[in-house]
Structure 1
Amino acid sequence: MDYFEQLGVSRSSSTIDIKKAYRKLANKYHPDRNDGTEAKEKFQLIQQAYDVISDPKKRAVYLKQNYTVITNPREVADSFWDSALS
């Protein structure tokens, strides 16, 4: 699953929006607050997603490596030609 989908934010979300989404989900699925069997696993996935996309350097690497979800093919083509011509 895509890290942005796990947090429920778009790829163009600001760090503030990412942090808000993380806090909301962390409060909901934190093992101390939620006794469900899936809560611990879900919390770990949320934590991992936040660690990657909240850091600008890690986020850039993640976005470059992860083209599994193509929302706009034109962006991919432009990105390819920008990197090929530079």
Structure 2
Amino acid sequence: MDYFEQLGVSRSSTTIDIKKAYRKLANKYHPDRNDSVEAKEKFQLIQQAYDVISDPKKRALYLKQNYTVITDPREVADSFWHSAFN
């Protein structure tokens, strides 16, 4: 699942928006407040998503790995040949 969808925010959200969404969901699914097994699993997923998209460096890497928009076909060819010979 997409980390942004996990927290219910858009890819263009600010760190403040991400933090607000995380706190709201963390309060709802925290194991101390919610005893269900699903809540514990959901809380772990929320925590993982927040760890990645709240840090600007990790967020940029995540976006680059998962949502790359190809603008130059030479980039595809270069990455293909690079991976083919390594």
Per the normalisation by structure 2, the TM-score is: 0.78
Q: Quote the offset at 1:3 in angstroms.
A: 0.1
When the two structures are aligned, how many residues end up with a matched partner? 86
Spell out, residue by residue over 1:24-60, the C-alpha distance to the aligned partner (whole angstroms, 9 max, x if none).
0000000000011101100000000000000000000
Pairwise CA RMSD: 5.4
- Percentage identity across paired residues of the two chains: 91
| Change in 2 beyond 3 A, CA 1:22/1:80 | farther
Q: Describe the shift of the 1:48–1:29 C-alpha distance in structure 2 as closer, same or farther (beyond 3 A).
A: same
Measured in 2, the distance between the counterparts of 1:37 and 1:75 equals 45
Cα offset, 1:70, TM superposition: 11
Unaligned runs of 5+ in 2: none
Q: Which 10-residue stretch deviates more, 39-48 or 67-76?
A: 67-76
* Whole-angstrom distance in 2 between the partners of 1:71 and 1:26: 38
Moved over 3 A (4+): 68-86
**In 2, Cα distance between the equivalents of 1:79 and 1:51?**
29
Question: For structure 1, which segment, 13-22 or 65-74, has the greater mean C-alpha deviation from structure 2 after superposition?
Answer: 65-74
Gaps of 5+ in 1: none
Give the drift of 1:67.
2.0
